Amino acid sequence: MSIPAGSIGRVVIAADDLAARVAEIGAQVTEDYRGRQPLLVGVLKGAFVFMSDLARSIDLPVEIDFMAVSSYGSGTSSSGVVRIVKDLETDIEGRDVILVEDIVDSGLTLKYLTQVLGDRRPASLEICALLVREGAEDGGAKYFGFPIPPDFVVGYGLDVAEHYRELDAIHVFEPA
């Protein structure tokens, strides 16, 4: 697969700011779930870096599982259709579940996932989103990191056509 035509632009959120905010969210989750063992459900692939850092910042035992959904394909805009590509391996009935998402854009994916997971009868279901696009609904996220501008962004797990996930900060992607 070739690198998409375009370039990495300005930093939107620096690595130090990401680390500080993730630590704050982890401390809040620790406080909110004291005495319980939440299940973090990461939405692959974009949320894996954020969820890894988040899990380590929560001072409680946590379990981890993943789902993969598709609504973007290889482009930079949503297709408008969400489908599950990889489902959970964990039965969530009666569990405290925190759905960990990289970015809330249109809210379509989040709405779909909260309905699917809610139908599985968890004890609780909260949303933790690293980024919320300016002008978008936060999808009811109890925990969120940063609002971001409407630019397409990459880094810290977010990609364009599977590239740039490894960047330690969040950058604007500027298509050619």
Q: What is the pLDDT of residues 62-111, one digit of tens each?
A: 999 999 998 755 555 555 678 899 999 999 999 999 999 999 987 888 88
Q: Are 97 and 64 in contact (CB under 8 A)?
A: no
Is there a domain that residue 163 lies in? yes
Predicted confidence at residue 43, as pLDDT, reads: 95
pTM for the full model? 0.90
Phi/psi region, residue 26 (left: phi>0; alpha: psi -120 to 50; beta: rest), is alpha
Res 1: pLDDT: 58
Indicate the SS3 state at residue 79. coil
Is 55 within a domain?
yes
Asked if the structure places residue 146 within a domain, the reply is: yes
Q: Please state, in angstroms and rounded to a whole number, the distance separating the CA atoms of residues 159 and 93.
A: 32
Phi and psi for 112 in degrees, rounded to 5? -60, -50
Question: Domain range holding 113?
Answer: 6-175
- pLDDT at residue 78, rounded to an integer: 53
Q: Is residue 1 part of a domain?
A: no
Q: Looking at the annotation, which residues are catalytic? A: 105
Is residue 162 included in any domain, yes or no? yes
User: Residue 165 belongs to a domain with what CATH number?
Assistant: 3.40.50.2020
Domains: count for the chain? 1
Answer for the pair 160, 167: CB distance below 8 angstroms, yes or no: no
Tens-digit pLDDT string for the chain (176 aa): 567 777 899 999 999 999 999 999 999 999 999 999 999 999 999 999 999 999 999 999 999 999 999 875 555 555 567 889 999 999 999 999 999 999 998 788 888 999 999 999 999 999 999 999 887 766 688 999 999 988 999 999 999 989 999 999 999 998 88
Residue 148 within a domain? yes
Does some domain include residue 12?
Answer: yes
